[in-house]
Chain A
Amino acid sequence: MSTATASQASASTAKKSGGFTGKAANYLDERTSISGAVKEFGRKVFPDHWSFLLGEVALFSFVVILLTGSFLTFFFQASMAEVHYDGSYVPLKGVEMSIAMASTLDISFDIRGGLLVRQMHHWAALLFVASIGLHMLRVFFTGAFRKPRELNWVIGFVLFILAMAEGFTGYSLPDDVLSGNGLRIIDGIIKGIPLVGTWISFLLFGGEFPGTAIVGRLYTLHILLLPAILVLFLALHLVFVIVHKHTQYAGPGRTEKNVVGFPILPVYAAKAGGFFFIVFGVIALIASFFTINPIWNYGPYDPSPVSAGTQPDWYIGFADGALRLVPPHWEFVLFDRTWSFNILAPLIIIGIFIVLVLIYPFIEAWITGDKREHHILDRPRNAPTRTAIGAAGVTFYAAMWAAASSDLIATHFHLTMEGVIHALQAMLILGPFVAYFITKRVCLALQKKDREIALHGFESGRIVRLPGGEFIEVHEPLDEYERWRLVSFESHAPVILRPNAEGKITNKARLRSALSRWFFEDRIAPATKKELESGHDGH
């Protein structure tokens, strides 16, 4: 970092200060003209808020995954050829298994540090997807996806899908009973697709499930194709973050035209660098003390055993849950073919859900007709309809997610499996509506409270008796900075239905106007300057 700082100081000062760093910086700059980039990048300002670090957690856990994953590739052999295990784990000695499973057992028991690295890799993967999820929720609920960042939302979402694909392909590599069961479910889903399903399944597995090809193929996807695409999109994502500048929360001195915070060099780089090691450390600690995916308990895969309590890793859980929530008898024969709507319905619903999340920024932009750039974030309460939609989406996802552990919920809370499934089915359908209305009302109520506080200050708890006998509670006025936070948001009015240039009102315009009304009909306007000035009427 000292070289970077020095090169920022550029050639002229280098002459004065001299020394090795100055000369080195000068040498580099004369040959690469890097000082411009360092100056630009080094001066880039990051605002300070804990929620802005979630994306970094994802980035850092990805780095941990890359490092540990590289180590694992040295020892893992992605072959499904059969061997008799001859490692040091006694209860599997002599058992027939694939080389993939045997080499994973060797990593766990016979290679120094192998188990720790394996566990770090797996825990980091769980943390990676979890932090992406939380980062996405932060971006959604603060409206950070608005213009000019819509495309970066899409890129980020693709990263989320890629992360899940990476997770799933990795989960299937050890060829143990659990991962084999997971693959069998995927195989079943693929075969449930009408007409092409069976062909795709045979293509993927190189014949009848499980075949002898799948682990090798997944391995290629896991360590070559998917990471390459992921790194590409990750780079794009970061470039966009720099191009767009960082968003910030509203506050005194913060406008749509500036970013208030620390520059990357030296403060932010130091913080982020330290944070990387903290994330690394947390993952290493978890991996040292907590077992993950003990494949030696599960044993080698063969298609006959299916374990109770078979679940995918958490991020695929929603898909598994969607399958569990389908009511029975949704399968019928038509045109001499079986239509497995028990599989197709979840596929279609999940597909629609994913596409809706992916294109949400464009939907909202179209409904609101807002074409301006936004660099100041919304507080969730100040965009009640968006926040309510988000809450509905989270509830929908949560119902599917919880359904993936329906059997464990049943055994651990002494419930019937059917009861759990029926309750979650109700939650899947009704939950989003309930969540929508409650969230919207809560947001509006919070806005009302903010407005009240901005106008009248906060209650001080001091009761005063006036000479006339009246009791009042003294309200302390807010200071300027506090008040700014409460009043500096925009209140949108619904788009008004107007005839177009030809004097016609199109159906599209009607739909948009109706949606816009739905979006902005209930709103609390921020306290205006006039109201604020007349607001202080002595109490």
Chain B
Amino acid sequence: MFTKKKRQDSAAKRGRRHPLANVALIAIGLIATGGAYAGISSATAQTESTVVSQASVEDGEKLFQANCATCHGFNLEGSDEAPSLIGVGAAAVDFQVGTGRMPMQAHNVQAPEKPVQFTDDQISSLAEYVASVAPGPAIPEEQYLDADGDAANGAELFRINCAMCHNVAGAGGALTEGKYAPSLMGVSEAHIYEAMITAPQNMPVFNDMNLSPEDKRDIITALKFMENEVSVGGHPLSSLGPVAEGLFIWIFGLGSIIAVTVWITAKSN
């Protein structure tokens, strides 16, 4: 209190600045930057409607240089740390950045899914930029993402092509050396499609020669069916199969039965 009074005194003496001047200055600065930023990003959103705009690519390049180039190189050439992104296409960027896998949190065996770090507009700018450098798989067309194909065919294709890593129920599974195939429940249609054509991490490519776009649509349909299906048998125990069932019967089944045996044989008071 004492110091405050002293400062006020000195400010009054000099007579140049109001006591709240600093606060006001910061507020003005923040509003100006924020407003400008908002204006720019809304501008980007508008340009997005036109398919590939030069402005969006330039935005993407700036974002890339600020966030990705340290590992992937300023010309997408890659480094010892990370692969080259020449020719990976917009689909790879949309998948990796859109699921939060990129930018990578730490160098590890596998980039885990995590909260997405960019807005949709920024992601599409990045994707457009990477696609503009060299052609590659494009973001899939909406007609294959409606999850309204043949679920029976999709489930069969899924069992044959995907279940060995992702588990028949799409619950995910372990790979070697700490790598894993993630659960497919809750993954968006576009990301499933993009994963199949761009082969992220340890996944193989499923190009249009071995799984036609219609097949991919069927697989997405089957996965979405599994995801949205009401579990008819009751609580699904994470769809983990016999291990979860065994633990359940030992802990809860036998546990409750033992509680009953103790109750039955207890001496009446």
Contacts and interface: CB of A to CB of B under 8 A. Distances in A.
Q: Are A and B bound to each other? A: yes
Interface of A: 48-54, 57, 90-95, 108-109, 115, 119, 123, 126-127, 130-131, 134, 177-178, 271, 274-275, 278-279, 282-283, 286-294, 297-299, 304-315, 317, 404-408, 410-411, 414-419
The B contact surface, by secondary structure, is: helix
Interface in B149-164: 151-152, 155-156, 159-160, 163-164
Interface in B166-200: 166-169, 171-178, 180-181
14 contacts: A50-B262, A90-B225, A130-B250, A275-B260, A290-B235, A291-B235, A305-B168, A308-B164, A309-B173, A309-B241, A309-B243, A317-B242, A406-B174, A415-B178
A287 B257 CA distance: 15
B222 interface: yes
A297 B239 CA distance: 9
A401 to B, nearest CB: 9
A244 to B, nearest CB: 20
Interface stretch (B14-22, B96-104, B136-144, B226-234): B226-234
A297 B237 CA distance: 13
A52 B171 CA distance: 40
Interface string B68-90: 00000000000000000000000
B231 to A, nearest CB: 6
B245 A292 contact: yes
B177, B237, B243 interface centre (most CB from chain A within 10 Å): B243
B135 interface: no
B180 A410 contact: yes
A310 B96 CA distance: 29
A131 B257 contact: yes
A307 B168 contact: yes
B245 A313 contact: yes
B254 interface: yes
A93, A108, A126, A315 interface centre (most CB from chain B within 10 Å): A126
Interface string B238-269: 01111101111110111011101110110100
Given A291-B235, A312-B242, A91 B249 contact: no
A127 B250 CA distance: 8
B211 interface: no
B204 interface: no
A49 B152 contact: no
A271 to B, nearest CB: 6
A181 to B, nearest CB: 10
Given A53-B265, A54-B261, A177-B163, A290 B248 contact: yes
Contacts of A134: 254
B236 interface: yes
A469 B206 CA distance: 89
B266 to A, nearest CB: 8
A311 B247 CA distance: 13
B177 A418 contact: yes
Nearest to B245: A292
A317 B167 contact: no
Nearest to A297: B169
Interface of B: 109, 151-152, 155-156, 159-160, 163-169, 171-178, 180-181, 222, 225-226, 231-237, 239-243, 245-250, 252-254, 256-258, 260-262, 264-265, 267
A309 B178 contact: no
A122 to B, nearest CB: 8
B172 A308 contact: yes
A294 B229 CA distance: 12
Contacts of A415: 178
Q: Would you list the 4 A-B pairs with minimal beta carbon distance, nearest first? A: A308-B173, A314-B246, A291-B233, A416-B178
Contact of B257 (A49, A119, A127): A127
Nearest to B170: A297
A50 B265 contact: yes
A306 B163 contact: yes
A49 B156 CA distance: 53
B168 A407 contact: no
Contacts of B241: 178, 293, 309-311
B177 A49 contact: no
Contacts of B242: 178, 293, 311-314, 317
A304 B160 contact: yes
A133 B107 CA distance: 46
A123 B167 contact: no
A299 B173 CA distance: 18
A177 B243 contact: no
B233 to A, nearest CB: 3
A225 B151 CA distance: 40
Nearest to A272: B264
A316 to B, nearest CB: 9
B160 A126 contact: no
Contacts of A315: 246
Nearest to A90: B151
Contact of B258 (A50, A177, A416): A50
A54 B175 CA distance: 40
Contacts of B235: 289-291
A91 B151 contact: yes
